[in-house]
Structure 1
Amino acid sequence: MVSLAVAPEKLGVSAKTIRRRISNGTVRGYRVGRLIRVDLNELRKCLIVETPTMR
């Protein structure tokens, strides 16, 4: 579990992208007091999009 400040650095996306995904329900945000934390493993699964290859 990491903060919304650390997650974008680890994954190479913006904090706005992560906040958008939390608000639309794609990613789950966990509230700890006043802070929001995200699970990096869950975030990686949701953000990685496989592109089909032509054969």
Structure 2
Amino acid sequence: MTTQTPRPRISAQQAHRNRPLPIYVSVDEAAAVMSVSAKTIRRRISDGTIPAYQCGRRNIRIRLEDLEAAFERMPAAHW
């Protein structure tokens, strides 16, 4: 009889964090990544702040690089 070492259990959230990110994401995925609402992402697409690509009639995809560029870090305010 062989003894196997138990594999460490990881939660679904940890597994999701360890998964490589795709190049293109949906509006809902973009909203989750940036911690904003899907409506905010759609507004940014409409005003041209975030470039998006339409795949078919309803599918909209956003490049992660473009998404990150649209939400750049602001410098710290010196009060």
Scaled by the length of structure 2, what TM-score is found? 0.60
Q: What number of residue pairs does the alignment pair up?
A: 55
In structure 2, what residue type is equivalent to 1:10? V
Deviations 1:23-48 (A, max 9, x none): 00111110011211111121111112
**What are the ranges of 5 or more consecutive residues in structure 1 without an aligned counterpart?**
none
Corresponding residue number in structure 1 for 2:39 = 16
**Deviating 4+ runs (over 3 angstroms):** none
% of aligned pairs identical?
43
- Of structures 1 and 2, the one scoring higher in RCO (CA 8 A, sep 6+) is 1
Which structure is larger by alpha-carbon Rg, 1 or 2? 2
Scaled by the length of structure 1, what TM-score is found? 0.81
Task: Choose between structure 1 and 2: higher strand proportion.
Answer: 1
RMSD value, Cα: 1.8
